[in-house]
Chain A
Amino acid sequence: MATRDEIKFLSNPNIGKDNKKYCRFRKFGIRHIDYKDADFLLQFVNEQGKLLPRRITGNSLKYQKKVAIAVKRARHLALMPYVADLLK
């Protein structure tokens, strides 16, 4: 028998809240993504070092493409791994 605490979250508590995703590059006016800044690019990959999709990061198409290029450059220069486990 489910207690009251357990049934509290049967519906998604985030529904109705206005947490809209946004493109951080557009919002903060960042025009250039530096491939040498590996710590920054780490925000756009998952634990295995794979690029996160736009639907999760919220980037606009223009900047998602630039992020992808920057991550690939960082990988070439061994600043980021091509494959990894427990990157974060």
Chain B
Amino acid sequence: MNQYEVTFIIDPILPGDEIEKAAQAYEKLLKDDSCSIVNVDHMGLKQLAYPINKRNSGVYKCIEFQSDKQDIVPKMELAMRRDERIIRYLTIKLDKYGIKYNDDKRNGRIGKKKSKEEAEAEKLTVIKDDLTLIEGIDSKVSKLLSVAGIKSYAALSEKSQDDIKSILSRGGSNYLNYDPTTWTDQAQLAADGNWSKLNEMKDKLKYGDSVSEEE
């Protein structure tokens, strides 16, 4: 049983589903020939280091597969050579170190730094909303709320005013000056994506604040 890895570049001018179709066609071709696909790596659209066929970028895909047949590679390469969607391809037979390297890479044991950063970025974008966009919440309060399990607008909008007040009072005397009456309404707007209305509301609130300061 040999393990191979074929990397190929698909013409980026094709529509998005065509590109996926081209990649899937080769997956199917391999599967039909009783190969087991180990992994498909969508490396994505990349700038080419030099133009090929007047193209300056290409969509990279990498299929890793196992096969015990000898003739599968020439068969697949012939299909790729005839395919106008494929700009370029390269097939490699992996040795045991190559197999281990790819396995480690998939499981995040190589390039730890990168995976950590990505995970953090995902956390920030997926779970956490920027609560400070709500008028009256500053970074300190948003920290306090996130500790209490409120990390998104939706979560904040579900809480009642008393809940938020009790969270604030737990944070200490510094938080007593905050007035959470409008926060749930604002969070509801933010959760719905109703930003124009939210901005209107914020302007009103800000105006009210400045009046009270003048007094």
Tell me whether A31 and B9 are in contact in the complex, defined as CB-CB below 8 angstroms, given that A36-B43, A78-B58 are known contacts: no
Tell me whether A77 and B50 are in contact in the complex, defined as CB-CB below 8 angstroms, given that A31-B97, A32-B97 are known contacts: no
Contact A81 B97 (CB under 8 A): no
Interface string of A30-49 (1 = CB under 8 A from B): 01101110100000000000
Chain B positions within 8 Å of A83 at CB level: 50
Looking across the interface, which residue of chain A has its beta carbon closest to that of B105? A34
Looking across the interface, which residue of chain B has its beta carbon closest to that of A80? B49
Chain B positions within 8 Å of A73 at CB level: 90, 92
Tell me how many residues of B have a C-beta within 8 Å of chain A. Answer: 20
A26 to chain B, nearest CB (A): 14
Chain B positions within 8 Å of A76 at CB level: 88, 90
**Residue A79 interfacial (CB < 8 Å):** yes
B181 to chain A, nearest CB (A): 52
**Residue A22 interfacial (CB < 8 Å):** no
Tell me how many residues of A have a C-beta within 8 Å of chain B. Answer: 17
Tell me what chain A mostly uses at the interface: helix, strand, loop, or mixed.
loop
Interface string of A52-88 (1 = CB under 8 A from B): 0000000000000000000001011111111110000
Tell me whether A81 and B101 are in contact in the complex, defined as CB-CB below 8 angstroms, given that A73-B90, A73-B92 are known contacts: no
Chain A positions within 8 Å of B52 at CB level: 78
Chain B positions within 8 Å of A38 at CB level: 49
Tell me whether A32 and B49 are in contact in the complex, defined as CB-CB below 8 angstroms, given that A73-B90, A77-B90 are known contacts: no
Q: Which of B50, B60, B90, B100 contacts A32 (CB 8 A)?
A: B100
Q: Which of A31, A79, A80 contacts B101 (CB 8 A)?
A: A31
CA distance A35 to B98 in the complex (A): 11
CA distance A32 to B3 in the complex (A): 15
**Residue B62 interfacial (CB < 8 Å):** yes
Interface string of B80-107 (1 = CB under 8 A from A): 0000000010101001011011000100
A86 to chain B, nearest CB (A): 14
Tell me whether A32 and B7 are in contact in the complex, defined as CB-CB below 8 angstroms, given that A73-B92, A78-B88 are known contacts: no
Q: Which 10 A-B pairs have the closest CB atoms?
A: A31-B97, A32-B101, A78-B48, A32-B97, A81-B49, A78-B49, A32-B98, A81-B50, A80-B49, A77-B90
Residues of A at under 8 Å CB distance from B? 31-32, 34-36, 38, 73, 75-84
